[in-house]
Amino acid sequence: MARDNIRLFSSPFTRLSVLLYLLAAAVAAAPPEAEAEAAAGFPVKEPEELELLLVWAGPEARSDTAQPQPDYAGAAAFLRSEADALGLEAETLEFALGKPLVLLRWPGRRPSLPSLLLNSHTDVVPAEPLKWAHPPFSAHLDSSSSHIFARGSQDMKCVGMQYLEAIRRLRAAGFTPDRTIYLSFVPDEEIGGKDGAGAFASSSKFEEMNVGLVLDEGLASPGEEYRVFYGERCPWWLVIKARGAPGHGAKLYDGSAMENLMKSVEIIRRFRAAQFDLVKAGVKAEGEVVSVNLVYLKAGTPSPTGFVMNLQPSEAQVGLDVRVPPNANPEELERRIAEEWAPSSRNMTFEFKQKVSVYDMFGKPVITPADNSNPWWTMLEEAIRKANVKLGKPEIFPASTDARYFRERGIPAFGFSPMANTPILLHDHNEFLNKDEYIKGIEIYESVIRGLASYNEHAKDEESRAEL
């Protein structure tokens, strides 16, 4: 085994199937002498780059970090052991009880330069095992497709391990960064990140780190171009309530709670359809429109067998997940909500369960410039080009990530997960990443980290950071 501190695969069946696959692949591609060794029964070594992800996303790392009860302690122990193997400095921070944040550090030769932060989150969303082809926390490597099936294989245990493997390669090649490089493995991203990246970004520890650029997660790309994100839509979690006098289930009258609510739902549906039509017609990308989705409806008078069927309820409510792009007019949208979606004239009210501002702490839209005005963008674009891959047009992320906490503080941040030719399966059943695409991503991050951590005297870091 490549590293004694890792015990790969606890299940004999999984271990056997993976080793048989790797043996077949090695024999097919091996020169005659290697083929002879395999035939003679000599052990075939797993690709070390693949090994780490299989452990991190599988049971050996005790890494079932699915919400609502993630095993953060086991994950932190695993990550610190990997830091020791790589010779990286490590510390565990805890901004909320029982939610450790693991911070790794690779000191640069010029510590006064703004540092590079590679962020990833340790938690994942729950999975329904019966709806998966393979157990979601087994990190199953399918021998026929070369896909790695695991919760977190796209979102985003893959990226965290690619960071580590890229650094392993760079250190083996004798590379020493000019900038200090930090790796943060944060908790709670899947439930909003308040106690993870949110607390971290506002801490004195983060201030001490002098971070110049943050890299965080992106999305898979079904095509050949790799996707990069310079901003994201802000979540407005909205609850609209309607009230009215209760009445007999057979009576027709105006102003009931359900009637008022349904009028609003229809108005909201038409708004949603108009926004979606812009995406379908190719006029705007998904991240550039306001998305609205109903997440629950609540009404009725409960009874022991269900609901009272001959009573019209006095209250009804709907929950909405609204996502607002940073180029939208938030004042106009909130006025629409107050006047059209939940007008007081129809005895309606609304409240936000979460409302993230589209502006940073300096009053500017929460985006990172993705053009030549930003030297960080220039360096990132060049590093990806040197990895011999195609980069797509910079996008607004359609959902939310931890990157927003750093952008809110005026820190440039890009979302980038190197997964091309891959269906978007985050939070889906049978989430997978092909092993070859994963290993290619390591090569890309090796180029990215080398490029961003090497000081370019023409970049004028301090001046550029002040402007941004």
Phi/psi for 166 (5° steps) reads: -65, -40
Which three-class secondary structure state does DSSP give residue 293? strand
pLDDT at 287 over 70: yes
Question: What would the pLDDT profile of 336-349 be if each residue is shown by its tens digit?
Answer: 999 999 999 999 99
pLDDT for 61 equals 56
Closest CA to 455 of 179, 232, 156: 179
Q: Are 122 and 65 in contact (CB under 8 A)?
A: yes
pLDDT for 35 equals 41
Catalytic residue among 123, 360, 402, 431: 123
Instruction: Using a pLDDT cut of 70, give the percent of the chain over it.
Output: 86
Q: What is the largest CA-CA distance in the chain?
A: 87
What is the helix (H) or strand (E) element at residue 206, kind and residue range? helix 204-208
Place of tokens 């985003």: 156
Q: Which amino acid, one-letter code, is at 15?
A: R
Comparing 28-37, 94-103, 140-149, 379-388, the range with the smallest average pLDDT is 28-37
Question: What would the pLDDT profile of 403-423 be if each residue is shown by its tens digit?
Answer: 999 999 999 999 999 999 999
Tell me if 217 is assigned to a ligand binding site: yes
Identify whether 71 is a catalytic site residue.
no
pLDDT at 366 over 80: yes
Domains of the chain: residue spans and CATH:
47-228+370-467 (3.40.630.10), 233-355 (3.30.70.360)
Sort 208 into a burial class: Cβ within 10 Å, 0-12 / 13-18 / 19+: exposed
Catalytic residue among 46, 64, 189, 431: 189
Cα separation, 147 vs 143, in Å, equals 8
pLDDT at 7 over 50: no
Q: Which whole number is the average pLDDT over 287-302? A: 96
E strands, 140-280, are: 140-141, 147-149, 181-186, 211-216, 229-232, 234-243, 247-248
Q: Which residues contact 70 (CB under 8 A, 6 or more apart)?
A: 64, 122, 123, 124, 187
Q: Which whole number is the average pLDDT over 264-277? A: 98
Q: Locate 407 and state its tokens.
A: 């952008």
Closest CA to 120 of 89, 165, 62, 86: 165
Cα separation, 281 vs 29, in Å, equals 46
**DSSP code of residue 241:** E
Peptide bond into 258 cis (omega under 30): no
Tell me if 340 is assigned to a ligand binding site: no
Identify whether 189 is a catalytic site residue.
yes
Q: Residue 80, Cα to own-chain centre: how many angstroms?
A: 22
Comparing 27-31, 275-279, 313-317, 333-337, the range with the smallest average pLDDT is 27-31
Q: Are 263 and 348 in contact (CB under 8 A)?
A: no
3-class secondary structure per residue, 390-443: CECCCEEECCCCCHHHHHCCCCCEEECCCCCCCCCCCCCCCCEEEHHHHHHHHH
Tell me if 82 is assigned to a ligand binding site: no
Question: What would the pLDDT profile of 205-247 be if each residue is shown by its tens digit?
Answer: 999 999 999 999 999 999 999 999 999 999 999 999 999 999 9
Determine how β-strand 302-303 pairs with β-strand 306-307: antiparallel
Cα separation, 169 vs 173, in Å, equals 6
Cα separation, 406 vs 36, in Å, equals 54
pLDDT for 63 equals 63
Tell me if 332 is assigned to a ligand binding site: no
Cα separation, 422 vs 115, in Å, equals 31
Instruction: Using a pLDDT cut of 90, give the percent of the chain over it.
Output: 83
Cα separation, 341 vs 344, in Å, equals 10
Tell me if 443 is assigned to a ligand binding site: no
Cα separation, 243 vs 259, in Å, equals 10
Comparing 54-58, 251-255, 305-309, the range with the smallest average pLDDT is 54-58
What is the helix (H) or strand (E) element at residue 117, kind and residue range? strand 115-121
**Arithmetic mean of pLDDT over the chain:** 89
Cα separation, 50 vs 440, in Å, equals 11
The count of C-alpha atoms lying within 13 angstroms of the C-alpha of 77, restricted to the half-sphere facing its C-beta, is 10
pLDDT at 46 over 70: no
Q: Angle, to 10 degrees, between the axis of helix 435-453 and the axis of helix 48-56?
A: 100
Q: Which long-range contacts (CB under 8 A, 24 or more apart) does 423-430 make?
A: 423/220, 423/222, 424/154, 424/219, 424/220, 424/222, 425/154, 425/220, 426/154, 426/155, 426/219, 426/220, 427/125, 427/155, 429/127, 429/128, 429/131, 429/132, 430/131, 430/132, 430/133, 430/134, 430/149
Closest CA to 234 of 365, 124, 341: 365
pLDDT for 49 equals 78
Question: What would the pLDDT profile of 117-147 be if each residue is shown by its tens digit?
Answer: 999 999 999 999 999 999 999 999 999 999 9
